[in-house]
Amino acid sequence: MNKKPFVIGIAGGSGSGKTFFLKCFLNHFKEEEVCLLSQDDYYYRVAHNMTAEENKLYNFDLPSTIDNDQFLSDIKRLINGETVYQKEYTFNNPNAEPKLLEIKPAPIVIVEGLFILHFKEISQILDLKIFIDTDEDIALQRRLKRDLIERGYPEGDVLYKWNNHVMPAYKDYLLPHKEQCDSIITNNTHVAEDIIQITSQISGNLRANVLDKSLI
C-alpha cells in the first residue's frame, strides 16, 4: 500500500440499521479492497458473573465504556499498513467464546460505532462521514426485536436501557455531530433494495475516485 487509505466513518444509533447498511456496503467490494473496524470490539471487559439486575443497570452507552486509546491506535495502524489483531466483544455473554479477529489493511478503511464522531481524534481522521438516521419509534422496534429474540433479554430490561441509557447517549454523544457529516442516510424503510441502491451509489463513487486512482 503506497497511498494513505481512504477512511470512512459510519455512525448511527441503536436500531438505525448500521449492521445491514454495512453488510450491503461491503458486498460491493472485494475482501482486499476494504476493511472494517467496529467500536463494539473495544468495550472494556466487564465481569461475566453480573446478575440480570446488574446487567440491566450497567450503562454500556457511555464513551467511558470504550477503550478509545486502543481503538484510535488500531485505526492508525491500519492506515500505516499494519494488520490489527483484536478479540471480538461478546456482549457480556459468558457462553460465547470470543474470536481473535484479524483485520488486514486495505485501500478503504471503515470505522463504525456510536461514538466515532464524539471521539475528536478519531473524527479528525475520517475522510468521509456517514450518518445513518432513523425515526425513534422504528429504531426501538428494531432494538426490541434484536434483544428479545436474538439475545433473550426481558422486554422490561430492554425498555429500561432504551429510555435510561440508549436514547440519552444518542442525544448527548451522536446527534450533536449529525450536521457535520458528509452524508445523512434516512433508514426508516424495511425494503432492502433501498439501502442496496444507496450503498451501490456510494461504492460506485469510491471505486471511481479512490480505488481506481490508487492503481495509477
Q: What does the domain layout of the chain look like in residue ranges? A: 6-210
pTM value? 0.89
The mean pLDDT of 175-182, rounded to a whole number, is 96
What are φ and ψ of residue 73, in 5° steps? -60, -40
Residue matched to cell numbers 424503510: 189
> Residue 112, Cβ neighbours under 10 Å: how many?
22
Fold of the 6-210 domain: Rossmann fold (3.40.50)
Q: For 69-87, what is each residue's pLDDT tens digit?
A: 999 999 999 999 999 999 8
